[in-house]
Every structure is written in structure tokens, then in C-alpha cells.
């Protein structure tokens, strides 16, 4: 069996290596690729994707996994090898349920869909995107039929991002959360508003960049295994645990974009860099799920990066870098400004209090589309009605409304809710961390992040994809994903800021 396990690992190493090559192609596409190379890059990605799909669904791989099943069950269930056999069998099952012809069609339709989405945005005309999205929704519904065992068709989609998670679970969590968030926002709206105008000034781009680098270097980002570049949309690229790159964007007239974007991506990267080297090249070196990934990025961005202790350390330095802009802004005013709550149209610009509402709206729309209750042509109206209902705002056009995110264009149904779940997990973890590290605030106030990072590494990062998200959260915090900690966090934070 040791021999078969070795064979399995060899096959997985090859698949992982090719996946890392594909990741680099993706990174390059968004950073340095010459514009005329887009079609060629599409062909390269398609060729690599075809090879990876073939290897991932090869009958010999299935045979090995079947042979290894009893052996895996005989091992310590938490051991790397037991989990490797189990998780790989799950991946293999999912991959083989989907016909190759579907995979090819889906790749083509979503490639065209992304073109259609770009064109629709340029023309501010949803009807340009509509036929593409209709095909994509059809294919997503078809995808669900490949998994007849699921209780709800949306479960099949969600599972790609949150292994083991069910639609009903997410709905229950969001149902508990929504009224509390809406109530909080109302309470905040009744109070005097905070001023954040100082964030909207000219800030030298290189100085911004350098400050961001200074911060994430202190966080513990390992530059020998990573780098930072610019891209239109910030992202983290997980090549291998020896190469986890981030990108950021720098707005010369708005400080928050670089500042919180850089910390956010660094959070993702620290997770990717923290997987146990024993999981390297097994396919288990990624994160447990998108929500757990997001819990890390949002933690460094918000729980750390928008906290008062953090700025007690970094604000004097930031004032030194931008004296003209910030000398007359005291720390307290800066802290309030970066935490201003204001219901808006755009998800990626939303504050911590309103963010999740953007997500709930999307989840409900996705479920309605997949259930067939909502037609794609009625989507803009449904979007705008819910925006009014949840956030009290109405998009002036679809570009700032239903066309704002690329996710549906690449077929990423099931993805959005991971953002909100990540927020919840980040707060659950934060409560646990503060129990384990009672002097955490003081450490942060001193610009020390090693203990925090080590805690995260030991409890979360090192495990890679060994555990399903609910299992991991349960193991670490003692309960499954639950909105209570996040609401406590919001009430506490905004209670202080807005004097609720």
C-alpha cells in the first residue's frame, strides 16, 4: 500500500505542477502580458486545462484511490495521508461526474461570457450580456444535474467553493444575520456621520506603495516566496507554497484602495504560504475553502488593519510619509474615517457593516436563477429592487448595479456567499485568538505580528485543504460557522465609533 500511496502522490504532484503552471499564466495575464496575446493565452490555458482534466479523471487514478480507501481508513483519520486519500477521492468523484464535453462547452461559453460582460459594461447595456448569462445559467443548472445526490441544485455549485457546505446552512446563517445588520445600519444612520474626506486627496503613488510594503513586511509576508505587482483588480496567485504572489492597485487620489487592498491580499498570501511543506505538491496545499481563505484576508484587512491598536502603531509613520495630507488629522479622526459606514452601490467599496448585505442580495438572486424562479431578463429589476430594500440605494445604471462583478460572467455561481461567510469566520477566529493571546492588542500596538501569524499558521494555515471548512472552524473555535461573533464585533466597534 505504501507503494500505491507513492504512486498516488506522484500523479498528484504532476497535476499540481501543471496547475501551478496554469496559475502563472493567469498571473501574467493580469500583470504583464502584452495586449495582443489574449487569444494565444486563451489557447495556452485551454491546452493546459485539457491536460489537467484528463489526468484528474484518469481511470488509473480512480483505481488507485479505490485500492487505497481501506488503507486510508486504517490510518489516524487526521493524518496527512488519511486526509490525502479522502480529499482526493472527493475531488476525483466530482471531476468524473462532469462530462468532458460539458467542461469544454462551459469553458467556451464563459470565455465568451466574459467578453460579453466587458462589452455590456462598455455600452452600459445589460441586454448585451443577457444572452451570455442565459447560457451560463442553463449550464450551471445542467451542472447541478450531474450530482443527483444533492438536496438542492445550488448545493452542487456551492460545494465547489465550500466543500461540504449546504445551501440551507448558508440561508440559515444569513437569515439570522440580515435583520441584525439592517438594524445596525439604521442605528448608525441616525447618528452624526464621520468625515473621511482626508482619504480623498492626492497621495504619491510610490510612497503609497512603499508604505504598503512596509506594513505587509511587518505582517510577515515572505518576499523570498512572493512578490507584489500592480493589476487592475488585486488578486493573490497561489503557484506553490514557494511562490504566492499578490497584486495591488494604487489610486493616486484615494488612500484606502492601496492600503486595505494590500493587506487583504497579503492575508490570502499568508494562508497560502503557511501550508505544511508535507502537503506540497499533493493538491492539498491550498486553503480549506474560499470562505476560510476570505476569513484570513478580511482578518488582516479589517480585524487587524482597521483596528485602533494597528493605527496606534502605524499612524505616526503614515503621517511622516504624508505630512501635507495628514498632519492635521488626529489619530481618532483617521480611525473613524477609515471605518465610515455608508450604504453604497458597489460591493468592493462597501464598509464592514454593509458588506454582507451586498452578498445576501447576490445569494438570493443566484438561488432564484438556479431554481428557475427568476429569468435572466428580469435580473436588473430584481437587483435594483433588492438594493433599495436592503441598502436604500438605487443604481443609476446597470454598470453600477447588476453588471458590477465579473463572477457570473465566468460562471462563478456559489462564489459570492464565501465573502460573507469569510467575514463571519474571521470574527469567530478573532474571539478565539484573543482568548489564547490576551495581549494581542498590545502586540499589535507595538507593531508585532509574529504571535498572531504563528497562531494562524498552527491552527489554520498548516492544514491546507485537509479539513472541510465547517470541520476546520469547529475544530478551532468549538462551533460551526455562526454569525454571533461577527455581530458582537460590529456592535462593539461601531458602538464606540458612532456612540450607539
Binding residues for a copy of itself, how many (CB under 8 A)? 39
Kindly state the smallest distance separating residue 280's Cβ from a copy of itself, in Å: 8
CA atoms lying within 13 Å on the CB side of residue 449: 24
Options 23-31, 201-209, 332-340, 472-480: segment touching a copy of itself (CB under 8 A): 23-31
- Residue 88 or residue 240: which is nearer to a copy of itself going by CB? 240
The stretch among 12-20, 192-200, 295-303, 433-441 that binds a copy of itself (CB under 8 A) is 12-20
Least Cβ distance, residue 237 to a copy of itself (angstroms): 11
Q: Which is nearer to a copy of itself, 18 or 399 (CB)?
A: 18
Map the footprint of a copy of itself across residues 211-230, applying CB under 8 A: 222-227, 229
Identified binder of a copy of itself from the candidate list 2, 3, 43, 190, rule CB under 8 A = 43
Task: Kindly indicate which of the ranges 13-21, 90-98, 252-260, 451-459 contains the residues binding a copy of itself, using the contact rule CB under 8 A.
Answer: 13-21
Q: Which is nearer to a copy of itself, 22 or 326 (CB)?
A: 22
Does residue 200 interact with a copy of itself by CB under 8 A? Answer: no
Q: Is the alpha carbon torsion for 96, 100, 101, 104 positive or negative?
A: positive
Residue 76-115 contact track with a copy of itself, rule CB under 8 A, x = bound: ----------------------------------------
> Binding a copy of itself by CB under 8 A: which of 18, 103, 109, 321?
18
The closest alpha carbon to 469, from 482, 457, 458, belongs to 482
Residue 306 lies near a copy of itself (rule: CB under 8 A): no
Candidates 9, 21, 114, 386: give the one binding a copy of itself (CB under 8 A): 21
Q: How far is the CB of 226 from a copy of itself (least distance, A)?
A: 6
Q: Of 4, 7, 9, 24, which one interacts with a copy of itself (CB under 8 A)?
A: 24
- What is the C-alpha separation between 345 and 464, in angstroms, rounded? 35
What Å distances lie between residue 330 and 60, 333, 466, CA to CA?
A: 65, 5, 46
Contact between residue 384 and residue 395 where contact means Cβ atoms under 8 Å apart: yes
Instruction: Give me the active site residues, please.
Output: 265
Q: Does 51 bind a copy of itself (CB under 8 A)?
A: yes
* Spatial distance between the Cα atoms of 482 and 62, rounded to a whole number of angstroms: 36
Give yes or no for residue 17 binding a copy of itself (CB under 8 A): yes
Per CB under 8 A, the list member of 7, 30, 46, 342 interacting with a copy of itself is 46
Using the rule CB under 8 A, which residue among 34, 179, 192, 478 binds a copy of itself?
A: 34
Q: How far apart, in whole angstroms, are the C-alpha atoms of residue 222 and residue 209? A: 17
* Residue 221 or 489 with smaller CB distance to a copy of itself: 221
Note whether 33 binds a copy of itself by CB under 8 A: yes
List the interface residues with a copy of itself, window 234-273 (CB under 8 A). 239-240, 242-243, 245
Q: Which of 7, 25, 166, 171 binds a copy of itself (CB under 8 A)?
A: 25
Phi then psi dihedrals of residue 251, to 5 deg: -95, 120
**CA angle 347–342–320, rounded 5-degree value:** 95
Identity of the residue, 88 or 404, whose beta carbon is nearer to a copy of itself in the bound complex: 88
* Nearest distance from C-beta of residue 108 to a copy of itself, angstroms: 11
What is the CB neighbour count within 10 angstroms for residue 179?
A: 9
User: What is the closest distance, in whole angstroms, from the C-beta atom of residue 38 to a copy of itself in the complex?
Assistant: 8
How many Å apart are CA 226 and CA 223, to the nearest integer? 5
Binding to a copy of itself by CB under 8 A, coded x per residue (else -) over 276-305, reads -----x------------------------
Task: Kindly list the residues in this chain that would bind a copy of itself in the complex (CB under 8 A).
Answer: 13-14, 17-18, 20-22, 24-25, 28, 32-37, 39-41, 43-44, 46-48, 50-51, 222-227, 229, 239-240, 242-243, 245, 281
Amino acid at each position: 500500500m505504501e507503494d500505491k500511496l507513492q504512486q498516488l502522490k506522484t500523479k498528484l504532484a504532476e497535476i499540481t505542477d501543471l496547475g501551478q503552471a496554469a496559475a502563472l499564466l493567469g498571473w501574467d495575464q493580469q500583470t504583464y502580458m502584452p495586449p495582443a496575446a489574449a487569444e494565444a493565452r486563451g489557447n495556452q490555458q485551454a491546452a493546459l486545462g485539457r491536460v489537467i482534466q484528463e489526468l484528474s479523471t484518469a481511470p488509473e487514478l480512480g483505481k488507485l484511490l479505490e485500492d487505497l480507501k481501506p488503507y486510508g481508513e486504517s490510518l489516524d483519520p487526521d493524518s496527512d495521508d488519511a486526509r490525502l486519500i479522502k480529499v482526493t477521492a472527493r475531488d476525483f468523484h466530482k471531476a468524473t461526474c462532469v462530462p468532458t464535453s460539458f467542461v469544454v462547452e462551459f469553458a467556451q461559453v464563459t470565455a465568451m461570457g466574459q467578453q460579453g460582460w466587458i462589452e455590456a459594461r462598455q455600452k452600459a447595456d445589460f441586454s448585451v450580456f443577457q444572452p451570455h448569462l442565459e447560457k451560463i445559467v442553463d449550464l450551471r443548472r445542467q451542472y447541478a444535474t450531474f450530482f443527483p445526490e444533492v438536496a438542492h441544485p445550488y448545493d452542487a455549485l456551492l460545494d465547489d467553493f465550500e466543500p461540504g457546505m449546504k445551501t440551507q446552512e448558508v440561508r440559515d446563517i444569513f437569515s439570522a444575520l440580515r435583520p441584525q445588520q439592517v438594524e445596525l445600519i439604521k442605528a448608525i444612520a441616525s447618528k452624526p456621520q464621520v468625515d473621511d474626506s482626508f482619504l480623498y486627496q492626492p497621495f504619491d503613488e510610490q510612497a503609497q506603495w512603499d508604505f504598503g510594503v512596509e506594513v505587509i513586511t511587518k505582517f510577515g509576508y515572505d518576499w523570498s516566496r512572493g512578490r507584489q505587482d500592480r493589476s487592475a483588480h488585486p488578486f493573490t496567485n497561489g503557484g506553490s507554497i514557494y511562490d504566492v504572489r499578490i497584486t495591488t492597485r494604487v489610486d493616486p487620489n484615494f488612500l484606502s484602495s492601496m492600503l486595505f487592498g494590500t493587506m487583504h491580499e497579503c492575508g490570502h498570501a499568508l494562508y497560502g504560504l503557511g501550508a505544511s511543506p508535507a502537503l506540497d505538491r499533493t493538491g492539498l496545499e491550498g486553503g480549506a475553502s474560499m470562505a476560510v481563505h476570505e476569513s484570513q484576508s478580511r482578518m488582516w484587512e479589517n480585524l487587524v488593519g482597521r483596528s485602533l491598536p494597528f493605527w496606534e502603531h502605524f499612524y505616526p509613520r503614515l503621517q511622516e510619509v504624508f505630512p501635507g495630507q495628514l498632519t492635521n488629522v488626529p489619530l481618532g479622526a483617521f480611525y473613524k474615517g477609515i471605518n465610515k459606514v455608508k450604504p453604497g452601490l458597489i460591493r468592493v467599496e462597501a464598509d464592514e457593516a454593509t458588506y454582507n448585505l451586498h452578498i445576501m442580495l447576490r445569494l438570493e438572486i443566484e438561488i432564484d436563477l438556479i431554481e428557475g424562479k427568476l429569468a435572466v431578463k428580469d435580473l436588473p429589476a430584481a437587483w435594483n429592487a433588492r438594493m433599495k430594500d436592503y441598502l436604500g440605494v438605487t443604481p443609476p445604471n446597470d454598470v453600477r448595479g447588476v453588471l458590477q462583478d465579473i463572477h457570473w460572467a465566468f460562471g462563478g455561481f456559489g462564489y459570492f456567499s464565501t465573502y460573507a461567510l469569510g467575514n463571519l469566520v474571521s470574527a469567530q477566529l478573532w474571539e478565539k485568538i484573543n482568548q489564547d493571546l490576551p495581549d494581542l492588542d498590545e502586540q499589535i500596538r507595538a507593531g508585532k505580528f509574529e504571535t498572531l501569524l504563528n497562531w494562524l499558521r498552527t491552527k489554520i494555515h498548516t492544514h491546507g485543504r485537509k479539513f472541510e471548512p465547517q470541520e476546520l472552524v469547529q475544530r478551532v473555535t468549538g462551533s460551526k460557522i455562526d454569525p454571533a461573533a461577527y455581530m458582537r464585533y460590529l456592535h462593539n466597534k461601531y458602538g464606540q465609533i458612532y456612540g450607539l
